[in-house]
Amino acid sequence: MPHDGVPDVRVAGLRKSYGDVVAVDTIDLEIAPGEFFTMLGPSGSGKTTTLRMIAGFETPDEGTIELAGEDVSSLPPYDRPVNTVFQDYALFPHMTVQDNVEYGLMVKKVKKGERRQRAQAALEMVRLGGYGSRKPAQLSGGQRQRVALARAIVNRPKVLLLDEPLGALDLKLRQEMQIELKSIQREVGITFVYVTHDQEEALTMSDRLAVFNEGRIEQVGPPAEVYEHPQSEFIAGFVGVSNVIEGNGRRYTVRPEKINLVEDGREPRQGWHVEPGVVSDVQYVGPVTRYHVKLDRGGDLQVLSQNLQEGSSEVLETMGRRIRVEWRREQESTIDEPEGGTE
């Protein structure tokens, strides 16, 4: 835990099943105040169900949920100090943008003047100052997304829950919103719990992230740690590409950008591991090239190399050639250490 004291969210032994399907299988989590925490995983991994249990939309079969030290497990959603940004935004179509944002304050009987003012401020924060009188149907997807954010933040919740909020936006808008969301989070200082299946989103935005798989959390940590030192083959594959190598009685992974292609004839460097192989595929993607290398002793590796000097034709010529790949020993990250491993 990066923070002492009472966590904003504490989830202990959380379990939820639908019939025979276990959606969430005994999850423990602690999220510190002010943290941008991401729950990352493929669909059906239990991340959204966990979020919905924190919000109060689903009742856990087992386990407890604490918000700022208070057990809220049995409270309905309207009594929990959290707000949610929904995947489909869930804006009220019959209300104006202003009324949508004011809804939470109206329910809490905040005076009309203050309500107006706070809703205006929230709309300005998401750069929609002049849009208060419009209806949601008159807004673009990105604008609706920001109204949904304003509608949640205006209530100053202890924790803001975001359920794939950028999922419906196109790539460019999504990247802009990632930066905006992050800066809004810094500005308001609210704890964000963010659900996504997009590993890049998780890596760029989070202070810490939890990787979900089949209802369980496989790893929790800061993005760099999870990326550089994945603890399982699943994480290696889901957060990046798997590049799993077996040798000396252990399995380990090396990130593709840490691997060099070595031209024939050059002497291997001290402390670097070298493997011979054949280039089985080359993908030229502008600034970088992705090589697929078939190792002589079995297994495939992906190698990512910046196109500093090479043009596309030179790069594509390497297709089918015999090469050697090398990486520094420190870049190896052991996964699934077998019982009593020999290393």
Partner 1 sequence: MPVIWIAGIYFGSLCVLLLSAFWDTNPFTAEVVHELTLDNFRTIFERNVYRDVAWRTIRMAALVTVADAVLAFPIAYYMARVASPRTRNILVVAVLMPLWANYLVKAYAWRTMLSDGGVINWALAPLGLHFDGYSTVGLWLVFTYLWLPFMILPIYAGLERIPNSLLEASADLGGRSLRTFTRVVLPLAFPAVVAGSIFTFSLTLGDYIAPGLITSEQFIGTVIYSIRGEALPVAAAYSLVPIVVMVVYLLVARRLRAFESL
Does the footprint of partner 1 cover residue 137 (CB under 8 A)? Answer: no
Among 68, 86, 158, 307, binds partner 1 (CB under 8 A): 86
List the structure tokens of 295.
């190792």
Does the footprint of partner 1 cover residue 77 (CB under 8 A)? Answer: yes
Q: Tell me the window of 8-16, 92-100, 169-177, 197-205 that interacts with partner 1 (CB under 8 A).
A: 92-100
Does the footprint of partner 1 cover residue 188 (CB under 8 A)? Answer: no
Does the footprint of partner 1 cover residue 78 (CB under 8 A)? Answer: yes
Between 82 and 177, CB nearer to partner 1: 82
Among 38, 49, 98, 155, binds partner 1 (CB under 8 A): 155
Between 152 and 335, CB nearer to partner 1: 152
Maximal C-alpha separation, the chain: 78
Interatomic CA distance for residues 182 and 115, integer angstroms: 25
List the structure tokens of 185.
């989070």
Instruction: Residue 329: name the closest of 224, 278, 258, 262 by CA.
Output: 258
Between 152 and 203, CB nearer to partner 1: 152
Among 2, 93, 189, 311, binds partner 1 (CB under 8 A): 93
**3-state SS assignment for residue 322:** strand
Q: Tell me the window of 75-83, 181-189, 196-204, 251-259 that interacts with partner 1 (CB under 8 A).
A: 75-83
- Report residue 51 CA to chain centroid gap: 13
Does the footprint of partner 1 cover residue 222 (CB under 8 A)? Answer: no
Between 76 and 141, CB nearer to partner 1: 76
Does the footprint of partner 1 cover residue 289 (CB under 8 A)? Answer: no
Among 76, 141, 249, 338, binds partner 1 (CB under 8 A): 76
Q: Across the beta sheet with 36-40, what order do the strands follow?
A: 82-85, 159-163, 191-196, 36-40, 208-213, 216-221
Would you say the C-alpha torsion 313, 315, 316, 318 has a positive or negative sign? positive
CB-CB contact of 236 with 253 (8 Å)? yes
CB-CB contact of 338 with 250 (8 Å)? yes
Between 136 and 277, CB nearer to partner 1: 136
Interatomic CA distance for residues 77 and 55, integer angstroms: 6
**DSSP code, position 258:** G
Name the residues that contact partner 1, by CB under 8 A: 55-57, 76-78, 82-84, 86-88, 90-94, 103-104, 107-108, 151-152, 155
